[in-house]
Structure 1
C-alpha cells in the first residue's frame, strides 16, 4: 500500500486535468502491452508492418515489469500537441533522461534502441519516431472520442468537487483508492522502484488525470523539478474500441458541428475556447452555443467581458448516453 500524505496546503492546490495529452496516452499505451490483460488491446489492430515488432521492443524497455514504467510524460508536462511533447523529450538534458531510465530500471534494449540508456540522441530520435508512428496509427484516429471521454470524466469529477469538496473528490477517483484523511492510499503490486520517493507532496498538491491507456491502475508520478505530483488513473474504455456509432448517432441527432460543440462543452470554456476546439469561427461557436442553451443542453454565464459556457445536467446526460 502506497500512502500519500496531504497537508491543508496540498488539499487547496489539488486540481483536475482532463489529459496529459496524446503523447502521454501513447506512452501509456506502450506500457499497457506488458499487462496480462490490458483493456486497450483492440487499438493494436491498427498497427502496421514493423510497428508491431517495434512496439514489443519499446514495451520491454519502457516497462521492465508490468508494474513499473519509464516516466517521460511528467518530465515534459502536459502537452496538447504530440509534436510539442516529442520535441521536449529530445531536448531533455541527458542526465535527466538517464535518471528516469535508472529509476525505472530499464535494462532491455533492442539493437535499434542500443545506447538509449545512456541518453544518446540517435536512439532517442528513433524512439520518438516509432512513438510518432504508433500515435498516428493507433491514438490519433480515435483522439476525438478519447478526448471527449476524458473531458466527460473531468466534468464528473468537477461536479463532485463542487458538491463534496477535495476530500469527496479523492474518495471518488477509483475503486482501489482509499482516502483516510489526511492520507491517500493506493494499492501496489510487485516490487515498485519508486516507493522510496512516495510520501508527502511538499505543499504543491496533486494533479489528478484520467487516462484511457493507463493499464496498471492508479499510478502516481513525482517530478523532480518542483512541479506537483501527478496521479494518473484509468477510466473504462472498452466502448471506445467496440463501438464507432456514438459520435455518428450524436451527429445524426444534432448535426455534425453542433454535436462537436456539445462534446466541447463537457470541459466548459469561453466562446473563443469552444471555437478553437471545434474548429469554427467565433460567430459560429456563439450561434451553436446559443442553440444548445435554448434547447436546455447548455448554460452560459457572463464573467466580466467573457461568456463562460458549460453543459446542463440534461446536456451531460445526453452526451454520456451517446458515449455508452
Structure 2
C-alpha cells in the first residue's frame, strides 16, 4: 500500500496541476507499451504506436533496461520545452547515480548512455531528439484531447474541493483511498512517502492504467500522477470515413456494440454481423471481460446488453 504522510503544512501546499504535462504523459504512454494487461482496449493502440514510433525514439528504451526508469526522467513542465529544459538541468551526480542504479545487473550500457553518465552534451542531444520523436508519434495526434480531458478532471477536482473539502477530493481520485490522521493510503505496492513540508502536486495521466506514479526528488514537491479518464487510450479524431471505435476495438466488436441498441441474443448478433454464433459469442465474451457489455441467461436464451461504460467511448453512436 502506498502511504503518503502529510504534515499540517503539507495540507496547505496541495495543488492540482492546472494543465497537462507533456513529458510525464509521454512517459506514461511509453510505459503502457510494455504493460501486460488490458489487451482488448490497449492492444490495437499499442500496435499502432509501435508501428508509428520512429527509430529516433529508440534510445529511450536504453534508459529503462528491465523496465526500470532513472529518477532524473521525473520532471514536470507545462510545455515540452520546459520539460526538456528540466531534464537537461538534472544534477550530474543524480544522473550518474540513477544510471548506475538502473544498469545494475542489466549488462553493458550503450556508448551514448555512457556518454550521458559522463555529462557529454552530444548524449543529452540524443535524449532530446528521442523525446521529440516519441512525442510526435505518441502524443501530438491526441494532445488536444488530453488537454480537454485534463480540463474536465481539473473541474471535477475543484468542484469537490469547493463543495466537500480537500479530504473528500483526495479520497475521490480513485476507489479504495483513505485519509486519516495525516496519512493518505492508496491500494497497491508498499511504499512510504513523507512530504515533510514540501507539498504535493496531483497530476492526472490519461495513458497509464496502473497504480499511482510518484516523483519524489529531494527539495521538490512530491508529484503523484494518477490514472484518470474513462479507462480507454486517447484516440485521434477520426478522419472522414474512418471508424475511430473500430480502430480501438476492431471492426467486428465495434459493430457488435453498435448493434446492441437493445438487448439481443447471440443468434441475433451473429445474424446482424454476418458471422457464426461461435464467433459472435467469442467477441461478446471479450467485450464482457472489458466491462463493455453484460450477458444474462433466460431459459435457453442468452441476451447481451451494453454497460454504462460504453457511453464513455469518444465516438458517435
* TM-score band, normalised by shorter chain: 0.5 to 0.7
Match of 1:229 in 2: 222
- Do 1:149 and 1:323's aligned partners in 2 also have CA atoms closer than 8 Å? no
The residue aligned with 2:166 is 166
How many Å separate the matches in 1 of 2:187 and 2:138?
A: 29
d(CA) in 2 for partners of 1:115, 1:183: 42
Q: Of 96, 99, 120, which aligns to 1:98?
A: 96
> Quick check: 1:62 aligned with 2:60?
no
- In 1, are the aligned partners of 2:53 and 2:137 still within 8 Å (CA)? no
Shift of 1:87: 2.8
User: Given the two structures, how large is their TM-score scaled by the length of structure 2?
Assistant: 0.63
Change beyond 3 A, Cα 1:50–1:28: closer
Work out the CA distance in 2 between the residues paired with 1:164 and 1:111: 54
Separation in 2, partners of 1:21, 1:184: 24
1:145 aligns to what?
A: 145
Report the counterpart of residue 51 of structure 1 in structure 2. Answer: 54
Superposition pairs of residues 1-324 of structure 1, within 5 angstroms:
1-37=1-37, 42=45, 45-46=48-49, 51=54, 54-55=57-58, 58-59=60-61, 61-62=63-64, 64-65=66-67, 68-72=68-72, 74=74, 76=75, 78-102=76-100, 107=106, 109-110=109-110, 113-189=113-189, 195=191, 198-224=192-218, 226-235=219-228, 236-238=230-232, 240-241=234-235, 244=238
Answer with 137-146 or 87-96: which moved more: 87-96
Following superposition, the deviation at residue 232 of structure 1 comes to 0.6
Change (3 A) 1:103 1:113: closer
In 1, distance between residues paired with 2:129 and 2:103? 23
2:72–2:90 Cα contact (<8 Å) kept: no
Cα RMSD for the two superposed structures? 3.3
How far is 1:135 from its partner?
A: 0.4
Q: Aligned partners of 2:57 and 2:172: how far apart in 1?
A: 37
Query: What's the CA shift for 1:63?
Result: 6.2
State the shift of 1:10 in Å: 1.2
Instruction: Tell me which structure has the larger Cα radius of gyration.
Output: 2
Cα deviations across residues 108-141 of structure 1 (Å, max 9, x unaligned)? 6455544434444323321221110110122012
Taking a change above 3 Å as real, the CA distance of residues 92 and 178 of structure 1, as seen in their structure-2 partners, is: same
| SS of equivalent residue, structure 2 residue 30 | helix
**Any unmatched runs of 5+ in structure 2?**
240-310
Instruction: State the Cα distance separating 1:12 from its structure 2 match.
Output: 1.9
